[in-house]
């Protein structure tokens, strides 16, 4: 029987939509079929498009929530004493739109001056849907006693403490900033340089765990990163003219600085993520900001006021800064008017800001009580597939269990530095950056981040000599000399590989700058294959909207024999199991079953038989065409007796040409995330990155590597 959870906001500004997003993600992490329903749309001032919560989830996930009823329609029925008709319609739409769901998150109305009936109708909807109620609130500047009383008053309107349908409450925005009068500020003012920056720590909220009349199911700290808007959002709000587009759609703003002083007194405020606001005729500020950009400082944008377009000579001097991506905006208001307009900026997440939606979902999901979540999903009877959020969460949770030391040879590369800090902060791994410490800290500062002591930095010049003799010993059969070894160790990938060979780190991740060959060659020479492994192969984890598939081999073996193809299939199935994916292995070919002939399809047919004989415990079938492997309706006609066709989760391609082309075609055409290549068959884990890897790609590859390291250690212990 599906479970329905209704989130009911206690007052305005509690962030109920963000909590809804996080709850959906938290349940996706559990691998359950979750859906969302906002019964009645509640447009904010200025909204002209579809209902915000529903549209946000549609854009950012594979969910297709039912359409909410228009507020005007609901108001008309309520005012004409036809509330029961409204509730019947809500129940009908709810049931039709959420049939295949384990858990449904329902978002209630926010009580406002315009919608004073919100609590009454929320309670009626909860009862009509048979929903368990979770109240959402924020501390504002209440003491724990005041917050307790506020929750009690709210509970009394929903049947009181004895109502068994009240599950608990979630406290959001703990520690949110307040102004001089100690009032909570849901606007951009906390971004203003020099504004009152003391945060209401809400330490008393911690006392709520003993005082609260309800179980506290989540306590979500305030995070300024979650409110960082894109430059394009502020440009739209200000109706700004774009003088230079640059990274308008992707750069985020962490702070706002009004440049009214002389240049020497302003330089300390030129920081990564800053919106620098100055009059358009302040050529000195414009040029100084552009110089900072050309020296690596990733300033958010320049906002020029007064409708003063900079002179052509000034823009020419700034050409290189603009080419690097610096957005430059022009507005006609003065500084005072601009400050007022910024304070009126809507801080809610735009429905098309997928990156920010993802951050909010992951952050809030991480602060919802896990034990309570398990009570929602423990008795689920519907079939489950490992969704991308569930897979990513599974990765990080597995990696955290044994925080492994992972070396990152490209230690001066900006994305790698950011990923190292994230991994250290989240406990995914103990990252080791190889590079010049001064350069690493300089690059970090330009990215607007501060490296903590949890990120280890090793200067290669200080340690190269420690690995010359061990490397000569490892390669003595190849005639390696000390001179050549010392020269090769100047390559940080080789140095990192030697650290791995010597057992000083547990894994290596490279490839943001280096080619696949440069990453893998030292590993093949110095690490070698694992006991019992006949070859090294690779897989990609393909994160489709509603499940994760495994593709192999797409990076290493150009034209494997039937024996090698069987090895790749078995390695890939074992990797799938290790990462929580139920392996149904499809051996891909241009022909299904016995319908085709030729050396290529014969190789796949033979490889299938070998793999089945070696591992009868695995579901392996082939040859199968891709459509027969993945589509149930095609499988019924082409391979009706196959245990794999139409349900495949692991796809083994006949050669590198097919595998690499297919993975890139699927990745780019479907605009989905792929993690890998993850190498299989190595004695110790070494993993390659795409040179176009995003920071998140690097983080999850580090997590994969850490998990592989733990599994390798467990196998070694078991074999002793």
Confidence at 104, pLDDT banded by 50, 70, 90: very high
Average pLDDT on 631-645 reads 91
Report whether pLDDT(382) > 50: no
Q: How confident is the model at residue 379 (pLDDT cuts 50, 70, 90)?
A: low
- Give the mean pLDDT of the chain: 87
Asked whether the predicted pLDDT for residue 326 surpasses 90, the reply is: yes
In whole angstroms, how far apart are CA 54 and each of 60, 63, 188?
Answer: 10, 9, 25
Mean pLDDT, rounded, for 219-247: 91
Domain 537-681 falls in which CATH fold?
Rossmann fold (3.40.50)
- Spatial separation of the C-alpha atoms in residues 237 and 218, rounded to whole Å: 33
Does the pLDDT at position 142 exceed 80? no
Range 3-43+51-224+358-377 classified under CATH 1.10.260.40: no
Rounded to the nearest 5°, which phi and psi values hold at 77?
-70, -40
- pLDDT (tens digit per residue) in 300-309: 999 999 999 9
SS3 assignment, position 177: strand
Q: Helices in 98-219 by DSSP H: which ranges? A: 118-129, 144-156, 208-211
- C-beta of residue 207 within 8 angstroms of C-beta of residue 255: no
CA atoms within 13 A on the CB side of 410: 22
φ, ψ for residue 593, nearest 5 deg: 60, -130
Q: Hey, which residues does 368 pair with through a beta bridge?
A: 218
Least trusted range by pLDDT, from 161-170, 372-381, 542-551: 372-381
Structure tokens, 629? 């492997």
pLDDT at 444 over 80: yes
CATH fold of 389-526, please?
A: Rossmann fold (3.40.50)
Among residues 70, 75, 63, which one has the least CA distance to residue 36?
Answer: 63
Please check the confidence at residue 177 and state whether its pLDDT lies above 70. Answer: yes
Q: Which of 191-205, 520-534, 624-638 has the highest mean pLDDT?
A: 624-638
What is the pLDDT at residue 567?
A: 95
Please give the average per-residue pLDDT across 467-492, as a whole number.
92
Instruction: Give me the pLDDT at residue 207, please.
Output: 59
Cβ(566)–Cβ(607) under 8 Å? Answer: yes
- Average pLDDT estimate for 112-131: 88
Tens of pLDDT, residue by residue over 549-608, are: 999 999 889 999 999 999 999 999 999 998 888 999 999 999 887 777 788 899 999 999
Grouping H, G, I as helix, E, B as strand and the rest as coil, residue 649 is coil
More confident residue, 469 or 375: 469
Average pLDDT over residues 359-380: 84
User: What is the total residue count of the chain?
Assistant: 720
CATH topology (fold) of 231-343? 3.40.1390
Do the domains 537-681 and 3-43+51-224+358-377 match in fold? yes
Mean pLDDT (whole number) for 53-78: 89
Closest CA to 587 of 655, 515, 506, 664: 655
Residue 112 has pLDDT above 50, yes or no: yes
Q: 182: left (phi > 0), else alpha (psi -120 to 50), else beta?
A: left
- pLDDT-derived band at 182 (thresholds 50, 70, 90) equals very low
* Rounded CA separation 398/486 (Å): 37
Specify the pLDDT at position 196.
40
Tokens of 693: 């890897």
Query: What pLDDT is attached to residue 181?
Result: 43
Tens digits of residue pLDDT in 188-229: 544 554 444 334 444 555 555 566 778 889 999 888 888 889
Q: Give residue 152's pLDDT.
A: 87
Cβ atoms of 330 and 306 closer than 8 Å: no
pLDDT of residue 655: 94
Give the model's pLDDT for residue 48.
66
- The answer to whether residue 36 scores a pLDDT higher than 80 is yes
pLDDT digits (tens, 9 = 90+) for 644-681: 999 999 999 999 999 999 998 998 888 777 888 889 98
CA atoms lying within 13 Å on the CB side of residue 26: 28
To the nearest 10°, the Cα dihedral for 380, 381, 383, 387? 0
What is the predicted pLDDT for the residue at 378? Answer: 63
What are the structural domain ranges in the chain?
3-43+51-224+358-377, 231-343, 389-526, 537-681
């Amino acid at each position: 029987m599906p479970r329905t959870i209704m989130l009911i906001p206690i007052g305005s500004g509690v962030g109920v939509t963000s909590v809804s997003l996080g709850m959906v993600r938290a349940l996706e992490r559990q691998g359950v079929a979750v859906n969302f329903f906002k019964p009645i749309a509640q447009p904010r001032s200025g909204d002209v498009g579809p209902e915000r919560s529903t549209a946000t989830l549609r854009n950012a996930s594979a969910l297709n929530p039912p359409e909410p009823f228009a507020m005007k329609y609901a108001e008309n029925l309520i005012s004409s004493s036809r509330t029961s008709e409204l509730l019947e319609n809500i129940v009908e739409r709810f049931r039709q739109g959420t049939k295949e769901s384990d858990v449904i998150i329902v978002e209630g109305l926010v009580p406002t001056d315009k919608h004073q009936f919100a609590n009454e109708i929320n309670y009626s909807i909860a009862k009509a849907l048979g929903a368990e109620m979770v109240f959402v609130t924020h501390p504002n500047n209440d003491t724990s006693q005041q917050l307790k009383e506020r929750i009690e008053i709210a509970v009394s309107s929903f049947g009181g403490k004895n109502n068994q349908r009240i599950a608990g409450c979630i406290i959001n925005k703990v520690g949110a900033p307040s102004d001089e009068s100690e009032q909570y500020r849901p606007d951009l003012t906390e971004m203003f340089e020099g504004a009152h920056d003391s945060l209401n720590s809400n330490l008393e909220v911690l006392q709520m765990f003993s005082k609260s009349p309800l179980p506290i199911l989540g306590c979500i700290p305030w995070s300024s990163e979650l409110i960082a808007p894109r430059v394009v959002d502020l440009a739209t709000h200000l109706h700004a003219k774009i003088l230079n587009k640059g990274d308008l759609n992707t750069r985020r703003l962490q702070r706002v600085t009004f440049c009214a002083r002389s240049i020497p007194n302003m330089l300390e405020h030129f920081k990564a993520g800053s919106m620098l606001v100055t009059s358009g005729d302040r050529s000195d500020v414009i040029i100084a900001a552009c110089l900072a950009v050309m020296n690596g400082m990733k300033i958010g944008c320049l906002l020029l006021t007064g409708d003063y377009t900079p002179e052509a000579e000034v823009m020419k001097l700034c050409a290189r800064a603009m080419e690097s991506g610096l957005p430059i905006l022009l507005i006609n208001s003065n500084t005072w008017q601009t400050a007022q307009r910024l304070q009126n900026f809507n801080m809610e997440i735009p429905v098309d800001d997928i990156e920010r939606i993802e951050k909010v979902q992951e952050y809030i999901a991480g602060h919802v009580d896990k034990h309570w979540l398990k009570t929602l999903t423990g008795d689920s009877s519907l079939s489950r597939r490992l969704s991308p959020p569930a897979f990513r969460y599974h990765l990080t949770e597995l990696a955290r269990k044994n925080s492994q030391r992972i070396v990152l040879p490209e230690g001066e590369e900006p994305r790698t530095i950011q990923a190292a800090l994230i991994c250290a902060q989240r406990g995914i791994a103990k990252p080791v950056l190889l590079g010049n410490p001064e350069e690493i800290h300089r690059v970090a500062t330009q990215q607007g981040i501060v490296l903590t002591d949890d990120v280890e930095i090793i200067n290669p010049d200080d340690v190269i000599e420690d690995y010359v003799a061990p490397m000569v010993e490892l390669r003595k059969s190849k005639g390696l000399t000390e001179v050549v070894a010392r020269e090769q160790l100047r390559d940080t990938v080789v140095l990192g590989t030697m650290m791995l060979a010597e057992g000083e780190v547990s894994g290596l991740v490279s490839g943001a700058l280096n080619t696949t060959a440069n990453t893998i060659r030292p590993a093949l020479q110095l690490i070698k294959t694992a006991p019992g492994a006949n070859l090294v192969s690779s897989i990609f984890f393909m994160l489709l909207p509603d499940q994760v598939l495994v593709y192999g081999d797409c990076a290493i073996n150009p034209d494997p024999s039937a024996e090698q193809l069987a090895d790749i299939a078995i390695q890939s199935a074992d990797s799938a199991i290790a990462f929580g994916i139920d392996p149904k292995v499809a051996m891909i070919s241009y022909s299904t079953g016995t319908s085709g002939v030729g050396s290529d399809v014969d190789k796949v047919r033979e490889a299938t038989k070998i793999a089945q004989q070696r591992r009868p415990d695995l579901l392996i079938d082939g040859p199968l065409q891709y459509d027969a492997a993945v589509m149930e309706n095609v499988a019924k006609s082409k391979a009706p007796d196959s245990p794999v066709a139409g349900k495949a989760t692991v796809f083994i391609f006949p050669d590198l040409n097919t595998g690499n082309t297919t993975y890139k075609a699927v990745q780019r055409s479907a605009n989905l995330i792929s993690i890998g290549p993850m190498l299989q068959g190595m004695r110790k884990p070494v993993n390659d990155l795409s040179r176009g890897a995003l920071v998140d790609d690097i983080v999850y590859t580090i997590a994969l590597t850490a998990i592989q390291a733990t599994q390798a250690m467990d196998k070694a212990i078991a074999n002793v």
